[in-house]
Amino acid sequence: MPVDTGDPAVDAVTTEWLDALRLSVSETYICPYCESEVDRNYRVQYVIRSCPECGGHGRFVHTVVAAALDEIPDEDRPEGWKEKPLDERLIAAVKAGLLDVADTRVPDST
């Protein structure tokens, strides 16, 4: 994200500093299959990747989103909830109207 202060020397240093700061913020994502955690420098609801622990490939869900899924009352959860991988629970919850965008928004930590 470029900075424009009118002074090219200040802009370059400030932009470099802000980029380094942004990259130092780490977010935690959970494997949909084995629930191991990985840290990435993204701030999104999920990332698609392969798990270094179990080898599964899918949507690693941000911890904020996983917590929102955990808050859904048992009686509201679709059939087979516990058997579904975490990412499929997310899709099922959104389709059933149990979660919306506000429930799964990852807060800006900067």
Q: What is the pLDDT of residues 61-88, one digit of tens each?
A: 999 899 999 999 999 998 899 999 999 9
**pLDDT over 60 (residue 20):** no
DSSP string, the chain: -----S-HHHHHHHHHHHHHHHHH--EEEE-TTT--EEEES--SSEEEEE-TTT--EEEEEEHHHHHHHHTS-GGGSPTTGGGS-HHHHHHHHHHTTS--HHHHPPPP--
Confidence band, pLDDT 50/70/90 cuts, at residue 40: confident
